[in-house]
Amino acid sequence: MVRFGIQAAHEQINPADLLNDVIAMDRLGIERCWSSDHYMPWWHTGAAGGAAWPWLGAALARTQKITIGTGVTAPILRYHPAVVAQVFATLDYMFPGRVFLGIGRGESLNEVPAGNSWPSNQERFERMREAIQLIKRLWAEDWVTFEGKYYQVKDSNLYTKPKQQIPIYVAGLGVQSARLAGQETDGFVTNELDPEIIEGRLLPAFREGAKESGRDPDSLTRAVFIPASYDEDKQKALESIGCWKGAMIKAFFEVHFPNPRKIEENGQVVGNDVLDKVALVVSGADEAIKKLEKFVRLGFTDVVLINSSPNRESFLRLVTEEIAPAFKDRNRPRAAQAASAAM
């Protein structure tokens, strides 16, 4: 069964209102909440900028069942991997089995304004790969000595380790990250929405990486992030999601361009027709199900919706009461579906 999650977008919503949102998610039966982890937002007008880590602790404490993690943290510059390991180990110790860690190679938007230089894409990938190795060792071993190209620790020990194995997911838009996700982590996360790129490049690379490590790729998580907005008045839904226009320009995920005011300005080239085509902008469940079909067919285990609706709880209810039930059996093996239908 495909799992529908929601992103807690700190760029868009202040942390107090986001806390109310995740409480509603838990109450309505959403299984996973993915928290963004940014220093600066993707736009300026009306933006927010809460810190993810203290919010995660508050969100876990105020909920009962929902699993909460980051989508995604960049453990490469403003966060040292050892500190990331400690923070998430502590969260899992307090809330065992309800925590996951999404990891990416970062954006200039977050790293440069926090006082760092902006490395090449390849260096950021290498840092991310090293960070994963160090984090996993700190969670599992005592008195870790690590000599990497970018990170070095000697006799480093987490006295409070996670109670359970924390899933790690790698986020990316290219084959390099997809392959790494298959090789070394529990799954792959992407906000690439072009089916040809997903089917032709990303998921094959992910599967190759998993097989290289002797693992079954079908046992691993494959998640897609989709901006979403629902209102019975389609125009209101479009207006509510317009803030994400700059984030739909892929170059801003890679280039040195850290100013939210400029990103917002450049994002105005993205028209509402593009938003309607790329994002999940809907006025009802049938329209949403039709748009989501292609991502389920591609083989994603998780669809993460970035809820930018005028009334966010109404969208949560649409997901839990109408959208998710429509996909209940979609990831079951074909033989099992046929047997069920024959009964």
Question: Active-site residue numbers?
Answer: 38, 107
DSSP secondary structure letter of residue 165 = P
Distance, CA of 224 to CA of 196 (rounded, Å)? 14
Distance, CA of 49 to CA of 66 (rounded, Å)? 23
How big is the CA angle at 226 (ends 221 and 227), to the nearest 5 degrees?
150
Alpha helices, DSSP H only, in 260-323? 260-267, 272-278, 285-298, 312-318
Distance, CA of 89 to CA of 83 (rounded, Å)? 10
Distance, CA of 104 to CA of 169 (rounded, Å)? 9
Burial category of 57 from C-beta neighbours within 10 Å (exposed 0-12, middle 13-18, buried 19 and up): middle
Alpha helices, DSSP H only, in 145-190? 175-184
Distance, CA of 171 to CA of 142 (rounded, Å)? 28
* Both structure tokens of 163: 């109670």
List beta partners, residue 100. Answer: 69
How big is the CA angle at 190 (ends 187 and 194), to the nearest 5 degrees?
130
Q: How many residues does the chain have?
A: 343
